[in-house]
Every structure is written in structure tokens, then in C-alpha cells.
Structure 1
Amino acid sequence: MGPKIVFIGAGSARWTSRILADIFLNEDLRDSEIWLMDIDDYRLNLISTLARRYVKELKIPMEVHATKDRAEAIKGADFVISTALPKGYMYYEKMRDASEEHGYYRGINSVEWNYVGDYHTIWGYYLFKLYMEIARDIEDFAPDAWFFIVSNPVLELTTMIGRETKVNVAGICHGFLGYRSVIEVLAMRLAKEKFGKNIIPHCATHRAECYDELRRIINLEDVEVEMKGLNHVIWLTKFEYKGEDAYKYLDNWIKEDAEEYWSVWREHTMSPWDLDLCPAAIDMYKTYGYLPIGDSVRGGTWKYHWDLRTKQYWYGPYGGPDSEIGCAIRILQVRRRIEEIARMAFDRSRPISQSMPLKPSGEVIVTLMDSLYNGKPADSYEISFLSGQVRAPIYVNILNNGTISNLPDDIAVETHVRVDSSGIHPISRGTIPDKLYKYVMLPRITRAEWALEANLRGGRDTLFQWLIVDVRTRNMKQIDDVINAILELPENKEMAKHFS
């Protein structure tokens, strides 16, 4: 029997199904023991039905267990993966609505360098409490296990578990893969400069012609990137092509091509998440000297987030995934995908392996488990790109411990790592550039520390301190009113005691 792999909050079927597919596709993990844990009967039945049908149809020598007992699931585990979001999406939307009624657009949780709609920090009491409970269970029942945190806020949760417990912990986020956008910029410039071709409209609409040209003119082995920072606040600190600084290609793209790209992009984009080269990303590059990668562009300052019209200027017609439009689209997409998965899982008239053919997810978790359990050293993994499989560096969130010398040792940083049977080892070293350090990292770390204090220690004063420096705050009454409105929600009786 192989490793015992536990999914907490396994009823998050959209995400869990993707990781299960990666496990099923990995020959060296096919004898794993899978434990699916969730407190929701319907969702637990959905994901366990799906998993068992795959195992049976594909004749995979794997055991699949379903339980509502977290301790039973964790006992003896090698890996614990959590996607759990206590109380669900709509609970947080209620707090957002209560905030907006008192003048806090998009909620009191939305502040400088964290405007991501589902990155719940100051109002994440139940989330922080649950993850501490999971970690304590791991200490008691599986002290050697690795705890992979997938739910946001990855920065705060990974930092908290790393500081407060003895658990082996890593935060997982695929946002770092946004570095691929600068390779598209490189392709657009080389196509124009060397061959006189304009592929900008193709790249702005993500058509095959863009990637065909990229594949033809760029050898990815000639491209070197390095990123540094925090989860959702990570920056491209190194971008080289054939050993030379490649930021010059981005500079020329901004001068000559960006407006054409944005014009086509605004007209044709179909996703609120299509942001890697949006005006906000480029403005942040001009301001701080480095390109924000992945979800980092969703942050920034209030310059990009004052209201819906401001968001639409910087993030396109939907205002990004964190506007009132984008958030509604996100919730709708989640619901639709769950319905699709349920329909296929419970439809016995057709093999599930035909309804949902297995394909790699592009997530890094299974590579981590394979390397740690089977002793396969790795610092990169295969992802789909350019209509094929390419190697991407492995980035995870771990406690800093000197990896980035000018950030605190006990804060979780997102960094390139090497993984083997002895653990997860950071590769990247050095410092955060000065302007990023002063104007980005320090404000974000400060908010992380405030959120950790609020959710671990409690007290109404921690909410007051969070709000008194908020640019939306006009007076003391507004602070009292919004705190009362949130804590008086029926779902927040326990939370109200914590913050009393």
C-alpha cells in the first residue's frame, strides 16, 4: 500500500476532482489510500462516488474511504490536503454586503494589497479556527504528515500553522504560473522585430496562432525567470532571454503594442481572470519596477479599486474577478461546475472515464507528494503550455527562514523549491528590491500580522485597529456600526464572543 492521502473539505469537488485525476494518472501513487472527509453529506457522497467510479472503471489498485470524522481521516496520514471553507461562499458575501451598507466597498476585508474576493483575512475567524484544529489533529494523529493548504488566505494560514504548530506545512497556489504571460510578450516582440509579423490580436484573444508562433520562434530553454514575494504578492525579479535581460522586450511592448493589445482584449475577453497583461499589471510594473505575477495584479492600492468603474478601467469590462460583476461570475461558475460534476458522477448510464476523461490539472501537489514519498528529487514539473507539455519551476509557500534575507524569518514566502524525500527546500535566495520591500511587502505583512492577531487573540480592539487606518473610514460611528453589523449576523454568534 502506498501513501495515505487525506482531503479535508473534499466536497469542494471542482478542486478535489482535479487532484484526484493527477493521483490516478501517476503510476507511482496508484496504490495510495484515499480518504475523503467533509461535513456535508451530499458533497461527500458526490466526490466519493466520482472517485470510486474512476477506481473501479480504470482498475486502479486504490482504496477510497469517505468519512465525516476528521480524526479518523487524518490518523496515520502521509499527506493532508485542505480545501475547506467553513460556512461557504455566501456567508462571506453576507459580511461583504453588511460592510458595503456602511461605506466599505467590497467589504472590510478588501484592503491594500489584498482585494481578492475570497482571500478572507480579518473576517476569517472560522477559517483560522478550523485550520488550527486540523493542524492539532495532525500533531496528534499523523505527526510526520505534510499539510498542504490550498484554501485562501494561503499567506496567513501557512504562516499561522508554521508558527503555532510543529506540523510540516506548505501553502499551495498556482498563481506563479502567470509568468507565462511574459513569454507571450517576448513572442509578440520577436515576431515583429525579426519576422515583421503582428501576432498581437492573436495573443490578446489567446488564439492558437499566438502559441504556434511562440513555439516556432522561442526555445523555452533560452528563457529564465525568477519570482520572489508572498502569496498573491509575487513579482518577476528576473527575466532573461539567451542570458540577457528580457525586460527590454516588455518595455518595447508597452511603448508600441500595449494599446493595440488592450483594445482587442477589452473587446474579446471572456474571463474576469484574464489579467496577466491588463493595464493594472503594466501600471504596477511602471510604478515598482517589476511585473506582478498571477493573482498579484488583483492587489495593489486603492488606485485600482475605488469603485466598479475604476476596476473596469484597470481590469477590463468585468472589473476583474473581485468586482461585484466578477464575483457573481465566479460564484455562478463554481455552482455550474459542481452541477456538471454531480450530473456525470451520478449518471450510471455512461462510464465516468468517458464523461470526465482524466487529464493533468497543472497543479503541483501530486508532484510534491510523489517526490516526498517516493524519493524523486524535483525542482520542476510538467504543465500544459503551447499545446504540449513543458517543465515549470515548482513554487510553494513555506516559512521564510532566511530564504529572502530582508523579510522576517517567520512569515510564509512564495519561492522556488527543490523537493525530495527529506523535505521541501528553497532554491531562491537574495532580497526583495527596495521599492517593493517598502511599498508592497511591509504593508502586506503588516495586514497579515493584524489579521493573525485578530483571529488568534480576538478582542474588539483588533477590528478597530484594522478599520481606523482604512481610507474608507470617515468617523468612529462608522467603525462601530460596521463591526456591529457583521458581528450581529446570526452565523457570527461565536465570532462575536471572540471579538467581544
Structure 2
Amino acid sequence: MKLAVVGGGSTYTPELIDGFARLRDVLPIDELVLIDPAADRLELVGGLARRIFTKQGHPGTVTTTADLDAGVDGADAVLLQLRVGGQAARDRDETWPLECGCVGQETTGAGGLAKALRTVPVVLDIAERVRRSNPDAWIIDFTNPVGIVTRALLTAGHKAVGLCNVAIGFQRKFAKLLEVSPAEIHLDHVGLNHLTWELGVRLGGPDGTDVLPKLLSEHGDAVADDLHMPRTLVDRLGVVPSYYLRYYYAHDEVVRAQRQKPTRAAEVAALEKQLLEMYADPALDTKPELLSRRGGAYYSEAAVDLAASLMREGGSTHQAVNTLNNGTLPFLPDDAVIETQARIDRDGAHPLPVPALDPQFTGLIAHVTAYEDLALGAALHGGRDRVFKALLAHPLIGQIEYAEQLTDQLLAHNKEHLAWA
């Protein structure tokens, strides 16, 4: 089996490598190719990746290349984890929206739209080159904003599934609180990427006993603290919202906090500098503890499970992924991309049934889906008016004055990445 990772020079890649090495019986990789145009970073990461494989006795080979076409040639699956513009673009995404009093974040709001506009054309080009090399290859997208990027891929007819680590993170945390194995926890996870709620926490599978009331009763303070939300809100909702819902439920509070401290991009850039210095040490053959502060916890395990299920002969597994709605949420179009539990097999992702949702959830999901539709149109076709309409439609913006200012800022800060601007 050949796997290719586009964006393989990321400082986060050793987390992925560690998962591939530990879980080699689940996903037996013969060849792993790390692809990245940043040659200096790529060689440091590739060297550590080889040492991790050797340390853990993995028989597969790790190669590195800046040549995308050579790297994806013959790949059975391609993982996308790229960041167009790097941390510098992310820092801008997290800064200029604050000037209008809007949240500065790289996956939602104006910053999220900027990232989508930069990313979608690049990802579609990569996917087309993968299809020319191997039309049967699966594309696993971890590149944010995952929902919009995955929708772009599926709309273009690619074999793609989007992946986020929010659900597996909750699974691991809830299992620890309940003192059970993570494998025993099945989440009723539903919504859009970075806009999800855990409606149930079931022991033993989709039909298992729902222990969410027990979890909130006995561990509500710990759950709320982890979300940075009031315990009273979690109790009133009766479900566990993704921590990304804080941008909606406490928008102004978040903006005030963001104005008082460095951006997350600045923090990550500092971490990356330290990590690359560590990766250069030829004696290092394990992922460093510092990597846990980089973000993306459990991504490697989620990626291994998904890739293995997509390429496994016979059988299937359940996993929270981003895929086409196809009637799962009846208030959304079939071609919307939702994030929900699905049965995964060689034919792709098949969403599990979802109970009727409360209007407080359906309203926000429908609103953000409409924004994502407009965002994808702007990413595919360009144009200031399309950008403005997407920003105006976003529930975190929604005012003419803000949408006009943010459109000007977005275009000014992203001219080098937008061919049409």
C-alpha cells in the first residue's frame, strides 16, 4: 500500500507518522511519501519520520519529494494537510477581522472565508492530478476549512472524505471521564465541520445505552471547563457543543480576549521553530512532548482508522467524517457536506440516521450551510460581490458595514493568492 501526504513538511507530520508506526497492523503501509515544496522543512521532518519507523520496527519506506505528480503516482490514498500561505497568512486571518469587531479565526468568519478562497483552487488542482495518476485513489482531507474543501472535492467528482479531530477528541476525553475504553464510546455527533454537537454518548455502539445524562451530571464541570463555556449553558442545552461553538455563543467575549493576546498563529510559529530544531537532532526518534501543544490531537489515529476502512476488503467501521448530506438532515440540500457519524467501507462514507434536531441546532446549521454555499462559489469563481455576499450571509458578520470593510481587508491581504483579485 502506498500513501502520500501533501503538506508532509508540516511540523505536525511526526504525530501522523507515530500513528502509522504504532497502528501498522491496522494500516499496513509499504511506502509513505511526504510531499512539500519547502525542502528544508521536508528533509527535517522526513528524517525524523524514518527514525520513528525504524525505532518502532515498521518495515515500510519513507520518501520525500517536492514533485507532487511523482509523489502521488500510484498512491492508494492521498492525505491533504496543507496550509496555503503558511502561518503568516493564518496570522493575518486572525488579525484583520478584529479591526471590525469580528472574531479572528482561521476556519470560521472572515478569516475562514479567506482561507477557503486561498485553499479550494489549490486542493482541486492537486485532486485532479491525483485522479490522472490513479482514479481509484481516495483523498482524505484534513485541510481547513474541511467542510468547504470537502464539498469542493465532492462537487468535482473526486473520491473524497473530510476528516476532523473534534469527534475523536471528545471520544477520548469522555472515555477517560467514564473510565471505559475509547472503543466502547459511540458519539451521536452531528452538524457541520466545526459546528457540531454531541447529542448522545453511547456505550457499545450506535444502539448502545446513552450515558450523556450521567456524564453531564457527574462530570459537567470538567466538560464545561474543557469547552471554555459555563456549566449552566451545557446543562441547559443538554448536549455537548463543539468548543468552536464558543465563537457563536460568546462572540464578543472571544473578540475581547483575542485583542488582548498574540494570535494562535504566532504561538504556533514559535512552537514550530522549536520543533524544527528538535527534528534536526539525529538522535531524536520519537515524537517530542512539545508536539502535543501544536494542536490536532488524535488526528493520526482518526486518519489510520479512516484510511484502513476505505481500503479494507469486506467489513466496515463507524467514524465521524465530513461527507454529502444525501437526505441525512432533511432541512439541508443533498449536496451539502455535513459532519456526522457514518459507516465507512470501500465505497466511501454512508451517514447513519440522525434523530430530528431541535430548532436551535437546525437554524444555525442551515444558516452556516448557506454561507458555505456562497463561500464555495466565491472560491470557485472569484469576484468581489461573491466575497461580499458570503460575508454578509455569515452569522458572525451579517451587517452591510462589516461585510464591506471585511471584503476590502480580505482582498487586500490575499492578492498574492487570488488570481482574480
Q: TM-score range with shorter-chain normalisation?
A: 0.7 to 0.9
Secondary structure of 2:334's counterpart equals: coil
* 1:74 CA displacement: 1.3
CA displacement 1:14-69 (0-9 Å, x = unmatched):
1x211111212233445521111111121111111112223445553322221111
* 1:155 CA displacement: 0.7
Secondary structure of 2:62's counterpart equals: strand
1:206 corresponding residue in structure 2: none
2:127 corresponding residue in structure 1: 135
Match of 1:283 among 230, 233, 245: 233
Quote the Cα distance in structure 1 between the aligned partners of 2:93 and 2:194: 22
Extract unaligned runs of 5+ from structure 1.
185-209, 266-273, 312-318, 381-393
Quote the Cα distance in structure 2 between the aligned partners of 1:223 and 1:96: 34
Quote the Cα distance in structure 2 between the aligned partners of 1:51 and 1:340: 17
CA displacement 1:326-357 (0-9 Å, x = unmatched):
76356424532x34443333223x3524978x
Kindly provide the amino acid, as one letter, of the partner of residue 326 in structure 2: N
Quote the Cα distance in structure 2 between the aligned partners of 1:482 and 1:355: 39
Alignment of structure 1 residues 197-236 onto 2, 5 Å: 211=177, 214-215=178-179, 225-236=187-198
Mean Cα deviation higher: 241-250 or 64-73: 241-250
* 1:72 CA displacement: 1.3
Is 1:305 paired with 2:305? no
Is 1:352 paired with 2:352? no
1:120 corresponding residue in structure 2: 112
Extract unaligned runs of 5+ from structure 2.
293-297
Quote the Cα distance in structure 1 between the aligned partners of 2:287 and 2:216: 46
* 1:90 CA displacement: 1.9
Alignment of structure 1 residues 89-104 onto 2, 5 Å: 89-101=87-99, 103-104=100-101
2:410 corresponding residue in structure 1: 486
Is 1:365 paired with 2:296? no
Is 1:41 paired with 2:21? no
1:6 corresponding residue in structure 2: 4
Residue-pair matches, total? 411
Contact 1:235–1:290 under 8 Å retained in 2: no
Quote the Cα distance in structure 1 between the aligned partners of 2:369 and 2:33: 35
Quote the Cα distance in structure 2 between the aligned partners of 1:45 and 1:454: 36
Q: CA separation of 1:461/1:423 partners in 2, compared to 1, >3 Å: closer, same or farther?
A: same
Secondary structure of 2:129's counterpart equals: helix
2:420 corresponding residue in structure 1: 498
Quote the Cα distance in structure 1 between the aligned partners of 2:112 and 2:103: 12
Q: CA separation of 1:17/1:324 partners in 2, compared to 1, >3 Å: closer, same or farther?
A: farther
Alignment of structure 1 residues 467-478 onto 2, 5 Å: 467-468=391-392
Quote the Cα distance in structure 2 between the aligned partners of 1:473 and 1:293: 23
Match of 1:63 among 52, 61, 64: 61
Quote the Cα distance in structure 2 between the aligned partners of 1:60 and 1:241: 33
Query: What TM-score does the superposition give when structure 2 sets the normalisation length?
Result: 0.82
Kindly provide the amino acid, as one letter, of the partner of residue 498 in structure 1: W
Is 1:452 paired with 2:376? yes
Query: What TM-score does the superposition give when structure 1 sets the normalisation length?
Result: 0.70
Contact 1:46–1:342 under 8 Å retained in 2: yes
2:295 corresponding residue in structure 1: none
Give the root-mean-square deviation of aligned CA atoms: 3.8
CA displacement 1:291-334 (0-9 Å, x = unmatched):
24434433425xx11244x76xxxxxxx5xxx346763564245
Quote the Cα distance in structure 2 between the aligned partners of 1:155 and 1:467: 17
Is 1:335 paired with 2:270? yes
Quote the Cα distance in structure 2 between the aligned partners of 1:224 and 1:474: 40
Contact 1:232–1:299 under 8 Å retained in 2: no
Is 1:145 paired with 2:145? no
Quote the Cα distance in structure 2 between the aligned partners of 1:30 and 1:395: 22
Contact 1:6–1:74 under 8 Å retained in 2: yes
2:164 corresponding residue in structure 1: 173
Kindly provide the amino acid, as one letter, of the partner of residue 233 in structure 2: D
Match of 1:414 among 334, 339, 353: 339
Contact 2:24–2:58 under 8 Å retained in 1: no
Contact 2:34–2:65 under 8 Å retained in 1: yes
CA displacement 1:380-423 (0-9 Å, x = unmatched):
5xxxxxxxxxxxxx211111223334432111222223333x23
Contact 2:150–2:162 under 8 Å retained in 1: yes
